[in-house]
């Protein structure tokens, strides 16, 4: 029979898996407490980094409907539960791992889809959500101004063509 403290830990982890947009599994072997504190700061306010027990976390992930991570629960494991922009947290993990090679990104899950370590690094290479939205808005504004210029050009071209025809007819009429 499960102990109450373990049941509570599983319930808490299950809730974290369900309430987060993404979760990234890492191996932290060889990192000091000060380095882990620095890592937590680098992830930003929209992520929680927790050292977890593999068995309990695997049970919690399965209860939350995430079975794709089962083979990654080996060795010392910590999970970054991301509730905000996953790109910013992925950048924090990637940058910290560059400076501290003891941090190994194992994989993760984003909106229910399993991600490999390489896919998380690609996610970190993306620009933030705000920058991507600004670029999209700029592109849409550019297309609107192109359409406006096109619509404005058609009537003016028509007027120039009609004037040229009138001038040609007046020239031909005066020549006869």
Q: How far is CA 58 from CA 12, 21, 90, 161, 162, in A?
A: 13, 18, 22, 74, 77
Residue 83: φ, ψ to 5°? -105, -15
Other C-beta atoms lying within 10 Å of the C-beta of residue 170: 10
As separate numbers, helices (DSSP H) first and strands (DSSP E) second, the chain gives 6, 5
Model pLDDT for residues 107-151, shown as the tens digit of each residue? 888 887 888 888 888 887 777 777 778 878 887 777 777 777 777
What pLDDT is recorded for position 1?
39
User: What does the mean pLDDT of the chain come to?
Assistant: 83
Would you say residue 176 has pLDDT above 70?
no
What pLDDT is recorded for position 85?
80
Model pLDDT for residues 44-59, shown as the tens digit of each residue? 788 888 888 888 888 8
Percent of the chain topping pLDDT 70: 96
Mean pLDDT to the nearest integer, 8-24? 87
Model pLDDT for residues 158-173, shown as the tens digit of each residue? 788 888 888 888 888 7
Angle between helix axes 54-63 and 4-19 (nearest 10 degrees) is: 50
């Amino acid at each position: 029979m499960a102990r109450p403290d373990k049941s509570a830990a599983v319930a808490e982890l299950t809730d974290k898996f369900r309430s987060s947009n993404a979760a990234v599994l890492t191996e932290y072997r060889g990192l000091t407490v000060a380095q882990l504190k620095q890592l937590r700061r680098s992830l930003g306010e929209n992520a929680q980094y927790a050292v977890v027990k593999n068995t309990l976390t695997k049970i919690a992930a399965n209860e939350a409907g995430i079975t794709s991570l089962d083979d990654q629960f080996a060795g010392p494991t910590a999970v970054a539960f991301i509730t905000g922009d996953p790109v910013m947290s992925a950048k924090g993990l990637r940058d910290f791992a560059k400076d501290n090679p003891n941090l190994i990104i194992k994989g993760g899950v984003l909106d229910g889809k399993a991600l490999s370590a390489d896919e998380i690094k690609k996610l970190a290479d993306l620009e933030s959500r705000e920058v991507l939205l600004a670029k999209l808005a700029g592109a849409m504004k550019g297309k609107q101004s192109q359409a406006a210029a096109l619509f404005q050009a058609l009537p003016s071209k028509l007027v120039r063509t009609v004037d040229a025809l009138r001038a040609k007819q007046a020239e031909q009429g005066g020549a006869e």
